[in-house]
Amino acid sequence: MKLKEKVAIVSGGGGAIGRAVCLKLAEAGAKIAVFDLYQESADKVAKELESIGCSSLPCAVDISQYESVHETVKQVHQHFGRIDMLVNCAGGSARERMAEFHEQSIDVIHEMLQVNLFGALHCIRAVSPFMVEAKQGNIVNITSIVARCGARKCAEYGAAKGGLIAATKSLAIELGPHNININCVSPGRVERTLPEDELAFAQRHSVLNRICTQDDIAETVLFMMQPGASYITGQDLAVDGGRSLGLRGSH
């Protein structure tokens, strides 16, 4: 158990990818603080973690509000005595509210930036002083290949994730001398529910013959947290089944 006695904060821990990350880190021996906007969602994942012998702390926190994040991170440190890892999973696209940018509401634009960019930066700002003091730490930000390649009706989401990738590179330069690694993992299309024709869906959204799962993302996060990845920092790793490969019109 390579992460035994380590403590991780997972924002958006009650979501699909966040839950998978919590479980994967717990299986490797970590203790988990589950951050979610809703206490019920955090509690549900925490109970799952406790059932496999993981010490956990469910926390309801609005990451768009820095003071809320700051106070909750302090509580986590007081509870566990340390913070070793942060995984920023909270966020997501506007989904059913997606629209062409010239028709998108200002409220949705601001919300996407607030949660996907500022929320992650709030968590990093609150956690990093504890890591600097401890002279060790590891941060992984869940971003998106939309930030690399673009997508219709995703301008505000892509801007937020692209901003987080850029911030990660600068933070790697700042935090590296303190023995803190920070990287991004950019998923491709990850479905919550399986489509009727899985093979057709997989081939449409990747160059592989299977669908990306939450566990694919969680396994990558786990890899980035282990000693074998300790010389990797400031990078954005695409886990997209090759979806972002190839030039349009090249065939």
Catalytic residues: 157
Alpha-carbon distance 196 to 203, whole Å? Answer: 13
Alpha-carbon distance 34 to 19, whole Å? Answer: 9
CA-wise closest residue to 76 among 34, 48, 26: 34
Q: Both tokens of residue 230? A: 């300790």
Cα angle 224-192-185, degrees, rounded to a multiple of 5? 20
CB count in 10 Å sphere of residue 95: 7
Q: Is residue 123 within 8 Å of residue 88, measured between CB atoms?
A: yes
How many angstroms from the chain centroid is the CA of residue 169? 16
* Rg, the chain, Cα only: 18
